Amino acid sequence: MRSSALGSLLAFLLLLRLPSCRGDDVAASDSVNPCCYLPCQHWGVCVRYGESSYECDCTRTGYYGENCTVPEFWTRVRHFLKPKPNVVHYILTHFHWLWDIVNNTFLRDVLMRLVLTVRSNLIPSPPTYNSKYGYLNWESYYNLSYYTRLLPPVPEDCPTPLGVKGKAGLPDPELLVERLLKRRTFRPDPQGSNLMFAFFAQHFTHQFFKTFNRMGLGFTKALSHGVDAGHVYGDNLQRQLQLRLLKDGKLKYQLVNGEMYPPTVDEVPIRMNYPPWIPPQDKIAIGHEVFGLLPGLGMYATLWLREHNRVCDVLRAEHPTWDDEQLFQTARLIIIGETIKIVIEEYVQHLSGYMLQLKFDPTLLFNSHFQYGNRIALEFSHLYHWHPLMPDSFVIDGDELSYKQFLYNTSVLTHYGIEKIVASFSRQVAGQINGGHNIPAQVTNVAVRTIKEGRELRVQPYNEYRKRFNLKPYASFREFTDNEEIARELEEFYGDIDAVEFYPGLMLERARPGAIFGESIVEMGAPFSLKGLLGNPICSPEYWKPSTFGGQVGFDMVNSATLKKLVCLNVKTCPYVAFRIPHGEKSHRRDGSKARTDEL
């Protein structure tokens, strides 16, 4: 009886506390939009009535009460049984003996299914908001030109840019980046991520992160909103047809020293984003118009070009009666499948640090309530700005290249060849993403633009997204970061931990011990990623069968795909290739020198 009374009292106090949570710099006023206080907790929806009244819609949140703060019975039970994210992460990254047992028994499938369903259920499907509408409507649902939004924008008529918390004005973005995000000394990733990982992250994600600000803020050109290999084939039919050889299902190519590379824009006159002083014969034609920027992106573009044409040869031998169109379309589905397989079992596996061996097996979800389809969220795009991965310079075959020598220099591909580039990038360590002070000076302008875009689109505060992903909001700057200088600067800039912006919060949060990320990027990014990967049509019961991929041979190519196969089946010799620098070997550092892995 005593504990029940205490629980009721605590719930009552919560109800009293939440509506009055006003920022220190903002005086209470009846004229303030009450939804500016972001009063509705646990995914509740704030609906404004009149000038100063509101109601929280708590439907199917598992909570009730004025602000959706009182847990229902089964919600209490789940919270009691559910371990904290850091406890789960610790278990998943320790106890080798336990995971050796799990990974070799039926328990692997059981846990993988749990990971997929629990993570994916955090992402709404169908989509909810977009950058124009902070309420549900048909336009937000069907207009694929918008990024979706997980949380609605901060109301326009609020006392502060983040609602009611913090100061009346936000810090200058250039100053914020200069003092908190810009690299001072390169800090390597303690997980040993390398440049193969860094360029894969950029190459893979830009097929669905294609912000189209020429159309307006919050718009995207990637209308498929998922893994469609548009970075290989183009994002529209006209571009695709120009890139295709229109024979045997293959893509156009050029031969340099007997090896296949993407053609030049002289041969394939498509739009590519190069500076005007680059001559046409030095511009390569790729599915994604900006991938001439970095030879690391050109390396992956070359590998996927070769893989597509190799797959076409295999399919043609199996199906001599198939025409060009069927060969091309089936090869594209195989490339998409190979991509997802590599992403889940190697890329996500590496960045998670988990000892649970992740598994790409769509059949794990066939008996679950799972919606096939995906919309890319603006928040996911901002979360994936991982520019701290980039080094200060690039070391290839013993040569150190500055950014000036590297950017837009497609001759790097043909001069060194894919084998040497892969071998070098596999041994050069990437930077740690979280913790601040690690974005190279050459790309800090991207961080500035991201902060400005977040403000123009009125993205909710960082702590609100912590709560949306069932994470405890930070109570102070010193809980948020173990760097006293960063904590002090943040307090000066924002005044209140609840006023810290989404993107700066993601980048500045303290990293987990020995990890590339902090808690938030993993716990927020994984649901977006897994929902997008498993929500792909090829993972549905209607598609996931051998006939979709041209028979068992094509199906086997998807199910056996690895990063090593992608490289080694498409080059003359097989170099060391992985997303992690080799254990026990010396690693090329950003300054061209070498360091033992135990220094990392």
Active site residues: 206, 384
- For residues 296 and 205, give the distance between their C-alpha atoms in angstroms, rounded to a whole number: 14
Q: For residues 196 and 579, is the Cβ–Cβ distance under 8 A?
A: yes
Q: Quick one: 406 exposed, middle or buried, by C-beta within 10 A (0-12, 13-18, 19+)?
A: middle
Q: Which two tokens stand for residue 172?
A: 């200058």
Helix (H) or strand (E) holding 327: helix 324-342
Round to the nearest angstrom and report the end-to-end CA distance of the chain: 55
- For residues 252 and 523, give the distance between their C-alpha atoms in angstroms, rounded to a whole number: 41
- For residues 388 and 435, give the distance between their C-alpha atoms in angstroms, rounded to a whole number: 10
**Which residue's structure tokens are 């609605």?**
152
Pairing of the two strands 399-401 and 53-57:
unpaired
Q: Which residues pair with 255 in a beta bridge?
A: 260
Q: Which one-letter amino acid corresponds to residue 420?
A: K
3-state secondary structure of 141: helix
- Other Cβ atoms less than 10 A from the Cβ of 82: the count is 12
Largest CA distance in the chain: 83
Which residue, 196, 190, 183, is CA-closest to 428? Answer: 196
- For residues 19 and 5, give the distance between their C-alpha atoms in angstroms, rounded to a whole number: 23
Q: For residues 23 and 38, is the Cβ–Cβ distance under 8 A?
A: no
Q: Which two tokens stand for residue 274?
A: 């190069």
Q: Which two tokens stand for residue 269?
A: 């006159």
Q: For residues 383 and 411, is the Cβ–Cβ distance under 8 A?
A: no
How many alpha carbons fall within 13 Å on the CB side of residue 74? 3
**Which residue's structure tokens are 């109570």?**
475
Which residue, 304, 295, 517, 307, is CA-closest to 408? Answer: 295
b/e per residue 530-556 (b: at least 16 CB within 10 A)? bbbbbbbbbbbeebbeeebbbeebbbe
Which residue, 223, 231, 238, 237, is CA-closest to 207? Answer: 231
- For residues 214 and 108, give the distance between their C-alpha atoms in angstroms, rounded to a whole number: 46
Helix, strand, coil fractions of the chain, as percent rounded to 5: 45, 10, 45
Q: For residues 16 and 70, is the Cβ–Cβ distance under 8 A?
A: no
φ, ψ of residue 579 to 5 degrees: the values are: -95, 0
3-state secondary structure of 9: helix
